[in-house]
Structure 1
Amino acid sequence: MLKRVFVAPDPGRARLRFAARAVLGIGLAVVVCGLAGHSLTGAVTGGLAALLALFTVADATVRGQAVTTVLLPVVGLPVLTAAALLHDVPVARDLTFLAVTGAGVYARRWGPRGHSLGVFAFMMFFVAQFLHASAAQLPELYAALTLSVLSAAAVRFGAWCYERRTPPAAVPAPPGGSGLARVTTRQAVQATAGAGFALVVGQLVSGQRWYWAVGATWWIFVNTTSRGETLVRGFRRVLGTVIGIGLGVVVAVPIAGTPVPTAVLVAVSVFGIFYTAAVSYTWMMLWVTLLAELLYGLLGVLTPGLLALRLAETGVGALGAALAVLFLLPVTTHAITDAWIQRALRCVHACTAEAAARLAGHPTADPARRVAELEQLLGRVRLAVAPLVHPLNPVLARKARARRVLDLLDTCAREIRGLVAVATDPEASHDARLAAACRRVEAAVEALTDGGATAEPLAAPVPAPRTAPEPSPAHGPLAHLHGLERALADLAHPLRAPAGSSLVDA
């Protein structure tokens, strides 16, 4: 697990910049709230709002990100108002919370913007429960939220807008459909039912901290699609919470809200959340748990008993999510996994085409953006395949095939990154072998994607010469293209397994 986090590819140091910018943006938001004279409750609300503004907004363009950021308060303030006004009306509060949960998941059908606004709306209701916000505090909370979103935007679009140089890839949208065939519709029903279970049982466990269970159910559904993905994510959430609680006993409890060390550890936790989110949900949950413990330390309520209660409520939330995806409109793993693999392969095709165009001298070709998109898609493939490669999966043959697919896709990504890195060499474009190799890669991808089941077996790639008679500027790109050809040829076997032994059938 350590190796996965610290050795995972980070093209263009995107994760590092993402995490560092988050620390700067959230820190600025908290400082602005302090200068505005807000209480600790206002500062915590502002810091969490800034965190969400920097974490969830994932539109493909800077303009799109700006529009979504402007809409965050438009969605968040009414939800925050409802949560505060209904705080002492349990039945209305609970029903409204469930409605916000279902609507937030359903909003994913509108892509990254719907996803961002849905998450922000849910978390505003959650934050109101976390801080026991009352109607009298609303003016301060309005101001804190608005100032913090503006502070985060100032960093994101002004001081540190690296997307203007290399636009990020949009978060891939889940597969479509209509009615109950649409994944987001099914998940909205599942999330609402799972949250209802978590709400009822969570209140039996604790009348004060029941919202932890609802929050656990919600976040288990975020960025998952199939039944298997959701179950694995629930397991990882519980595991990350357990490790985070253990770390909190050693780190957060002893300092008990002491301002300076708490501020330092909060910054470390924020960095950890943003840096590990793309590669390990367990590690992200470790940092989220530590951040929550530090905030409770600042509020003066952190005790070992509270940590045990958090673990219990997290278990309730994970159980609610598991029951919902198992028994209510389940979304099977097979179609979802196949769809993500197909999209990743088509992106390999697009990356190769962009790199070839760049090598041929086209100034507008931008393979770097395609690489970022490929990394996003491979993350979705890993998430989809996670149930198959999990240590508890007893079907060893299917597990081996799934691991083989992941390894070969990682090889494709590595060769693509190498190809893009040398694609700026203008002299390489004079070698005709590059164009031929790119055509072979395109043909191999086409054979593996749509219609691949009826296509002829992939031809073996033309082997790269062991010793080139004369080094040429094209030697580097050719080596990467040959490696890509071999990986694509090897993918044919695990992806075309007989129907009775398919990669996934659950």
Structure 2
Amino acid sequence: LAGIVVGLAAASAIGGTVYIVLPLGAACIFLAFYFLPVSYATMTFFVSVVLSLAYSLLGVLTPQLLELRLEETLVGSVAGAAVAFVVFPTKTRTTLDAAIRNWCDKLSDLLEEARRGTSGLDLVSRSQALDRAYRELAAAAKPLGVSWQLVTRPGHVRQTLAVFMGCTYWARIVARKMSQDPESPNDFAAQIEENLKLASKVRETGADYFYRSRSVAAPVERHLPVSRDDAGLGLEMVAVSLERLHSPRVRPAGEERGL
């Protein structure tokens, strides 16, 4: 509705001047695609403005035509919602479960290849697959949260997602460090095995992490040397990140914390 009103006002003011309509229409098309991943409503706004400008350029712009577009949009929205809820219902929890399992599988693949001493390029490729899995996980969790833009106080969903993001980051560090030192996997077999067990536990729990009301920022029982900069630190931080999902309590104020 806002797009129709703005488009009608702009088209009436321009009066079908081609030298103004074309660059303005191109700008609106760019903005429509730019905002598509962020807000479908904003994309629709700019598309409606473009259509109004196109109608004015063709000389067929009338309020009745724009009213018809609004009616057709409402009919399409109702029909789409009905199909989504009745014909092809897919719960957010189901999609999120699948995304978490995929993320855990990619993390386990990376760790398994690191344990075998796979070449650096293969490890980097595994870390890129893990990055893609995280993006899919973030997209699957998005319907559960609110105010995903300009967030000032992240809620439980974003806190939980931040744990997965941190783990993804440190797994990338592991892949990079091990690709630089191909002999290091033998030194970290125990840590890799521990992380594989934690990843398996996360895979079994699935979407429950996003539905449980608890703190995911609680400190864990680990104290890491800040002077280390190798794959071992990355593996430790992967374990720290995964353990935060299972933190049983928040320590009292003033109690010593790990890194």
TM class by shorter chain equals: 0.5 to 0.7
User: CA separation of 1:251/1:485 partners in 2, compared to 1, >3 Å: closer, same or farther?
Assistant: farther
- Aligned residue pairs total 222
Calculate the TM-score normalised by the size of structure 1.
0.36
Contact preservation (8 Å) 1:244, 1:285: yes
Measured in 2, the distance between the counterparts of 1:309 and 1:414 equals 49
| Alignment partner of 1:288 is 2:43 | no
Contact preservation (8 Å) 1:374, 1:413: yes
339, 346, 351: which is aligned to 2:94?
339
In structure 1, the partner of 2:24 is: 265
Q: CA deviation at 1:273?
A: 3.4
Measured in 2, the distance between the counterparts of 1:256 and 1:444 equals 64
483, 489, 505: which is aligned to 2:246?
489
- The AA in structure 1 aligned to 2:104 is H
Larger radius of gyration: 2
| Uncovered stretches (5+) of structure 2, i.e. residues with no partner | 148-154, 210-217, 249-259
- The AA in structure 2 aligned to 1:439 is L
Higher relative helix content: 1
Instruction: Determine helix, strand or coil for the equivalent of 1:481.
Output: helix
Q: CA deviation at 1:485?
A: 0.6
Contact preservation (8 Å) 1:463, 1:482: no
| Alignment partner of 1:474 is 2:241 | no
Identity of aligned residues (%): 24
Measured in 2, the distance between the counterparts of 1:404 and 1:376 equals 19
Higher relative contact order (CA 8 A, sep 6+): 2
In structure 2, the partner of 1:382 is: 142
Instruction: Determine helix, strand or coil for the equivalent of 1:302.
Output: coil
Instruction: Determine helix, strand or coil for the equivalent of 2:246.
Output: helix
Measured in 1, the distance between the counterparts of 2:42 and 2:69 equals 17
| Uncovered stretches (5+) of structure 1, i.e. residues with no partner | 1-241, 391-402, 453-459, 493-506
- Listed as ranges, the matches of 1:328-477 within 5 Å are 331=89, 336-356=91-111, 357=113, 360-362=117-119, 363-365=121-123, 366=125, 367-383=127-143, 385=144, 404-405=156-157, 407-417=159-169, 419-420=171-172, 423-425=175-177, 426-427=180-181, 430=184, 432=188, 434-449=191-206, 463-465=221-223, 467-468=225-226, 470-474=227-231, 477=234
- Listed as ranges, the matches of 1:143-292 within 5 Å are 242-249=1-8, 251-292=10-51
Instruction: Determine helix, strand or coil for the equivalent of 2:46.
Output: helix
- The AA in structure 2 aligned to 1:465 is H
Instruction: Determine helix, strand or coil for the equivalent of 1:290.
Output: helix
Measured in 2, the distance between the counterparts of 1:479 and 1:286 equals 48
Structure 1 segments of 4+ aligned residues over 6 angstroms from their partners: none
- The AA in structure 2 aligned to 1:341 is L
Instruction: Determine helix, strand or coil for the equivalent of 2:223.
Output: coil
319, 324, 330: which is aligned to 2:78?
319
Aligned-residue CA RMSD (Å): 4.0
Measured in 2, the distance between the counterparts of 1:266 and 1:379 equals 30
Q: CA deviation at 1:381?
A: 3.9
Measured in 2, the distance between the counterparts of 1:340 and 1:445 equals 16
Calculate the TM-score normalised by the size of structure 2.
0.64
- The AA in structure 1 aligned to 2:168 is I
- The AA in structure 1 aligned to 2:160 is L
